Amino acid sequence: MAKQDIIELKGVIEELLPATTFKVKLESGQVIIAHLSGKIRMNKIRMGIGDSVKVEMTPYDLTKGRITYRF
């Protein structure tokens, strides 16, 4: 997949799920399931409810994403 195909959106973590997955509410109001990117796992950045995050999504599945940055 090319880098141009990635959609980046802002959201807020609403719920913590098992296996480092999260329910994230996007600015558009849509709720998705997101997991942590490798850099966040490697640097052991902690996430909690209410944290603002940047999420990358693919245009093929708009219900899942990857958290790449915490604001």
Among 3, 70, 2, which residue's Cα sits nearest to residue 37? 70
For residue range 26-55, what is the model confidence (pLDDT) as tens digits?
Answer: 999 999 999 999 999 999 999 999 999 999
Q: What domain range is 43 assigned to?
A: 3-70
Q: 49: helix, coil or strand?
A: coil
**Residue 58 is part of a domain; what is its CATH number?**
2.40.50.140
Task: Measure the CA–CA gap between 55 and 48, rounded to whole angstroms.
Answer: 15
Q: Answer whether 0.75 is exceeded by the pTM.
A: yes
Give me the number of domains the chain comprises.
1
